[in-house]
Chains A and B, each alone.
Chain A
Amino acid sequence: MSDPYTTLGVSPGATDEELRQRYLALTRQYPPEQHPERFAEMRSAYESIKDLDARVNYVLFNEGANDTVDLILEDMACRTTRRRITLTHLLNSLPTTKR
């Protein structure tokens, strides 16, 4: 999961009520029946910072706790433009025994 503030689109100084309102607005925009993955991500982000206790635990102990190499790679793939695969690279990728 990326930074919960980024996921919810709020500033780090947002109050409990601001977070709650933003979360409700997002659930109306991405209802769980139609956007299950997005909703789960938003829900997880909200739970991690929804009140002062959660925010303190997040900044002291939980930031990045669920991050993995695979998640980082997945996010990178989503963010970057796909590279153009050259003919040379295609041919060079063949296993030598095939030739």
Chain B
Amino acid sequence: MASLKIPKPPPVAPTLNPADAAVARRSSLGLPDELKPHCDAILAGFRAYESGNDEDARTALAKIPLGSPFLEWKVLLRGLMAYTSNDDGRALENWSRLSNEQLPSQLAAPLRAKLDPSFRPGQSFEQNAALLRRAELLIDTPLAISITALRTEIRRGKSLVNAFRTAESVAVRCKHDDPVVFKRIARLFYRAILDHGEPADIPRYRKVFSKPSDDPEFLKLEAQRFEHSDSISEANTCWSLFERWLSSNPLKWPEGLVRRARAVILHRIANNIEEDDQPSLVDEFRRILSRATLPNTLLNLPPIAEDPVAIWQKACELSPEWEPPARALFDFYSEQKNLEQAKAVAQRFLAHQPTALWAVEGLADLFARNGEARAALDLWLQALRANPLDRDYQIDVARAYVSTVRVELMEGDFARAEATLIEGETYCKQSHPTSWKVLRSVVARCAKQVDLADALQVELESDREKLPVTRFHFAASAVLAKWKPVQKKAVDFAFAESLAEPASPTIASYLLVSLADYIEYGIDYRGRAAHQKKIVAYALSTAESDAPIIDIERIAIQLQIQGEWTAAQKFAAVCSRRFPLNPVFTMTTIQALLAKAKGKQPPRSLFRLVQIARRNIERSTEPRHKSMLEIVEKMGTDLFNGFNDFF
């Protein structure tokens, strides 16, 4: 039986009836002779029950007749026997028949309060609290009582010193008797230290619970605590040591799990390095203070190498099918314009995950930029097969087809160019009809199919609205197809002539997009720079046009997308004078200034411009302007932080 220490009560008060007083005294002395056997039966019943012999207890209780003053005690004991057998329904049924004026009812009250929620509304809050406390002392094992005390200590969110003191007694009780509970309590404390503990809690933990099997040197715990306090270098040192410990698979995990776990840790380290901006003075102080709490072993170790690329590479080797490090590495190499490495990363990943569309798209873009149009086309077709109804993929496929034809023209392979045109006809006629027809006409002319070439050219020229675009494509394709100078001169002249018409933002937009196709697919040809200059100048001239404002805004945005910052800034300057309340042109100026200042301190005039842009966005009623609010707010914050760091 449990060694529960409950203080000895004072003698029973004389207000109890004789039956209750006798049972409370554990003696039938003083009772009338006819009641003594009843009292003895009750006491014998309790003794039998307490020793685990319910059968003998029932035999004893059978001697209590109806009408006996000891009947209440019989009902109480029957209820206790039902409770011990987990028959709460029968227990409560018995106890609900007890009279409130007699002692058995008071004795059963805590158990009723614990088991029967409908019993509680009959008492006040304080009475219920007192009853439940009594119930805990009666029902709970000493271990459960100790753990209950732990509840308030660990939940408080303050120092864990008292919680650890309480935990010592808990650990003594359950370490061998209930190792499952011991492990769970240990884990609760581990998490508590992580959430709101202090460094001194770790040796306390070790003393009470020993080392956790999955983090024996508390490296994982320390790493996360350092991350919480922005001490990234120390956090990474701890993570690195933890990863090294995991590499020997001390926990006997399945191989795949260990490798992935190590990759997860390494990826976290690399991300920490990437995201850790130059620390402010406050961060430095914090770092110095947190280093003061490092164990000596860590203090003596050099910081880990801060090359996220090498770390991501290692993570990819460990878990080549896992996306995050592969993607991080791909993005890194793409930003660095290291196309070969980026391609290698994407291809390695696709070998394990062939349906990873981000890799397919990323690789397609890389091939395109590198002038490998056919390779890009194959990848876009792969993406489209995975998502046949995706409109963006359909457009990408069409672009890739026309670009592949252009490359084949440049290589002088007219037969192949014709085959590619026919292969891509359906896609191209949906989204690139002008490009396709121009190329078809040029290829036909190269193949001496003059009638077809002429017919297509006449058809194209009849669309007066798109004439400048048509003539641009003819001018470019003539160079790609190595036409004779006199032919090239004619199409060039026609193109220049079409640009002499009053400028239209719609046409300017088509021209810019068409130009982008050549640039983004690395299709460089003699005269492209001149064409680019003409198109940008044409676009600039639309700033003074009477076209709808939304069309003029589109030109500003397109110039930004294509990185034509000087032109964008000029365009925005003209439009800002015409439309001073339009936020698009202010934002265009801001973006152009930022792009030009890359790597250097941006001009202070940007602050004023950001304020103007923000004010114009707030005043505008156009949803397309409102959608820029988040961008301008972030811009303001970044500028502010940038200046703070500088000064």
Asked if B311 lies at the interface with its beta carbon under 8 angstroms from chain A, I say no
Most buried by B among A13, A64, A90: A90
Given A69-B150, A73-B144, A90-B107, A59 and B50 contact (CB-CB distance below 8 Å): no
A91 to B86, alpha carbons, bound, how many Å? Answer: 22
Asked if B282 lies at the interface with its beta carbon under 8 angstroms from chain A, I say no
Contact of B24 among A57, A77, A91 (CB under 8 A): A91
A75 to B183, alpha carbons, bound, how many Å? Answer: 13
Interfacial chain A residues near B50, Cβ < 8 Å: 84, 86-87
How many pairs, one residue from A and one from B, have CB atoms within 8 Å of each other in the complex?
118
Given A60-B264, A72-B181, A96-B10, A83 and B256 contact (CB-CB distance below 8 Å): no
A41 to B321, alpha carbons, bound, how many Å? Answer: 31
Contact of A94 among B2, B107, B147 (CB under 8 A): B107
Q: Which residue of A lies closest to B261 (CB)?
A: A56
A76 touches B9 (CB 8 A): no
Asked if A34 lies at the interface with its beta carbon under 8 angstroms from chain B, I say no
In the complex, chain A residues 42-95 whose Cβ is within 8 Å of any chain B Cβ: 52-53, 55-57, 59-60, 63-65, 67-70, 72-73, 75-77, 80, 82-87, 89-95
A85 to B4, alpha carbons, bound, how many Å? Answer: 11
CB distance from A78 to the nearest CB of B (A): 10
Asked if A28 lies at the interface with its beta carbon under 8 angstroms from chain B, I say no
Asked if B60 lies at the interface with its beta carbon under 8 angstroms from chain A, I say no
Interfacial chain A residues near B185, Cβ < 8 Å: 72
Interfacial chain B residues near A68, Cβ < 8 Å: 188
Interfacial chain A residues near B141, Cβ < 8 Å: 76, 80, 83
Contact of A69 among B80, B139, B188, B257 (CB under 8 A): B188
A60 touches B220 (CB 8 A): yes
Chain A 10-35, CB within 8 Å of chain B: the 1/0 string? Answer: 00110000000000000000000000
Q: Give how many B residues have a beta carbon under 8 Å from the other chain's beta carbons.
A: 58
Interfacial chain A residues near B178, Cβ < 8 Å: 76
Interfacial chain A residues near B143, Cβ < 8 Å: 76
A67 touches B12 (CB 8 A): no
Main secondary structure of the interface of A (DSSP, over half): helix
A55 to B257, alpha carbons, bound, how many Å? Answer: 8
A13 to B253, alpha carbons, bound, how many Å? Answer: 8
Interfacial chain A residues near B43, Cβ < 8 Å: 87
A55 to B264, alpha carbons, bound, how many Å? Answer: 12
* Range class of the A interface residue count: 35 or more
A83 to B145, alpha carbons, bound, how many Å? Answer: 14
Main secondary structure of the interface of B (DSSP, over half): helix
Chain B 113-150, CB within 8 Å of chain A: the 1/0 string? Answer: 00000000000000000100010011101011001101
Given A59-B253, A72-B181, A84 and B52 contact (CB-CB distance below 8 Å): yes
B147 touches A13 (CB 8 A): no
Interfacial chain B residues near A76, Cβ < 8 Å: 141, 143-144, 147, 178, 181
B147 touches A93 (CB 8 A): no
Interfacial chain A residues near B49, Cβ < 8 Å: 84
A93 touches B110 (CB 8 A): yes
In the complex, chain B residues 174-200 whose Cβ is within 8 Å of any chain A Cβ: 178, 181, 184-185, 187-188, 190-191
A93 to B136, alpha carbons, bound, how many Å? Answer: 10
A93 to B131, alpha carbons, bound, how many Å? Answer: 10
Asked if B151 lies at the interface with its beta carbon under 8 angstroms from chain A, I say yes
Q: Which residue of B lies closest to A70 (CB)?
A: B151
Q: Which residue of A lies closest to B83 (CB)?
A: A82
Interfacial chain B residues near A92, Cβ < 8 Å: 6-9
Q: Which residue of B lies closest to A71 (CB)?
A: B184
Interfacial chain B residues near A95, Cβ < 8 Å: 130, 134
A64 touches B191 (CB 8 A): yes
Interfacial chain B residues near A69, Cβ < 8 Å: 147-148, 150-151, 154-155, 188
A87 to B49, alpha carbons, bound, how many Å? Answer: 10
A98 touches B184 (CB 8 A): no
A83 to B144, alpha carbons, bound, how many Å? Answer: 12
A91 touches B148 (CB 8 A): no
Interfacial chain A residues near B107, Cβ < 8 Å: 90-91, 93-94
A54 to B154, alpha carbons, bound, how many Å? Answer: 28
A57 to B220, alpha carbons, bound, how many Å? Answer: 13
Contacts A69-B154, A72-B181 given; 5 further ones with Cβ under 8 A? A52-B257, A69-B147, A76-B141, A77-B144, A85-B138
Identify the A interface with B (CB < 8 A).
12-13, 52-53, 55-57, 59-60, 63-65, 67-70, 72-73, 75-77, 80, 82-87, 89-96, 98-99
Residue pairs across A and B with Cβ atoms less than 8 A apart, 26 shown, are: A12-B254, A13-B254, A52-B256, A52-B260, A53-B260, A60-B261, A64-B184, A64-B190, A65-B191, A67-B184, A69-B148, A69-B188, A72-B185, A72-B188, A76-B143, A76-B144, A82-B83, A83-B2, A85-B138, A86-B50, A87-B43, A87-B46, A89-B137, A93-B138, A95-B130, A95-B134
Identify the B interface with A (CB < 8 A).
1-2, 4, 6-10, 12-13, 23-24, 26, 43, 46, 49-50, 52, 80, 83-84, 86, 106-107, 110-111, 130, 134, 137-139, 141, 143-144, 147-148, 150-151, 154-155, 178, 181, 184-185, 187-188, 190-191, 214, 220, 253-254, 256-257, 260-261, 264-265
4 closest A-B pairs by CB: A64-B187, A69-B151, A99-B13, A92-B6
